[in-house]
Amino acid sequence: MAYPAGPPPPLPQHFRGRPLLDQARCQAECRACEEACPTQAIAITDTPRVDLGRCLFCTECADACPTGALTYSQDYRLAVRAREDLVVSPEEELRLARALDGKLKSLFGRSLKLRQVSAGGCNACEADVNVLGTIGWDIGRFGIQMVASPRHADGILVTGCVSENMRVALQKTYDAVPTPKLVIAVGACAIAGGPFIGRPQQHNGIPASIPVDLYIPGCPPHPLTILDGLLRLLDRLQAVSSRE
């Protein structure tokens, strides 16, 4: 595919990007969307706020809204650098992921090797990460590759809610990656626990002992969302477009 030098591939009609709220139609006092959300991703105070890190893009909120004020866009650009940037009100623009700075950009900008860790995932995020290695997407053309050993990696790409059985394995994998290293959280489970949030058998995503450099929300995030986040992190969108 030509992307990112050309337009992105067409998305299916039922694709769900960032949730949108028509405030003119919203009756915030009804709180139907907040009550319907299975992961408490919606909070209504003075203005509704959505935590995209918790959002499952499941449409329970839109189905519950009596005025049809909630819809889903086709905007696939969702990746951010800071966890707090995923908590937004409807009128706010999402602070999309900025590129790595200085030395890290020079180290990883042209060649990035990642060890993928499925830390209790359902295989949906894992499948969409795998799609990026197929001939159509071919992330190898950007110098991005998945490797078998953390010893050979520049960072880890984590999916899954971090089950208790995977907690130590994830920490050991992170510790085995040489420094400096990157951590990428892919999917609602890795960011905040996903549909398992609050369950005692898991840890609501990547623990605080492992600092995250890129958050890619979704359940699962579309391959285009993942690729967009990776290219933003490496500052490759502008570079590829201008070279072509």
Q: Look at residues 202, 195, 117, 201 and name the one whose alpha carbon lies nearest to residue 159.
A: 117
Tell how strand 48-51 and strand 214-216 pair up.
Answer: unpaired
pLDDT for residue 241: 42
Q: Answer whether 147's CB lies under 8 Å from 112's CB.
A: no
We find that the CATH architecture of domain 19-75 is 2-Layer Sandwich (3.30)
Output the CA–CA distances (angstroms, integers) from residue 158 to 99, 171, 221, in the order listed.
19, 11, 13
Angle of CA points 17, 18, 19, to nearest 5°: 115
| Residue 92: band (very low, low, confident or very high) from pLDDT cuts 50, 70, 90 | confident
Q: 13 — alpha (psi -120 to 50), left (phi > 0) or beta?
A: alpha
Give the residue extent of every domain in the chain: 19-75, 102-233
Q: Is the pLDDT of residue 158 over 90?
A: yes
Q: For 107-111, 122-126, 170-174, 229-233, which range has the lowest pLDDT when averaged over its residues?
A: 107-111
Which parts of the chain fold into alpha helices (H)? 32-36, 60-64, 102-108, 124-131, 164-176, 188-192, 223-233, 237-243
Prediction pTM value: 0.94
Mean pLDDT along residues 101-130: 95
Output the CA–CA distances (angstroms, integers) from residue 240 to 3, 51, 216, 236, in the order listed.
9, 31, 21, 6
Which CATH code is given to the segment(s) 102-233? 3.40.50.12280
Separation of alpha carbons 75 and 15, rounded Å: 9
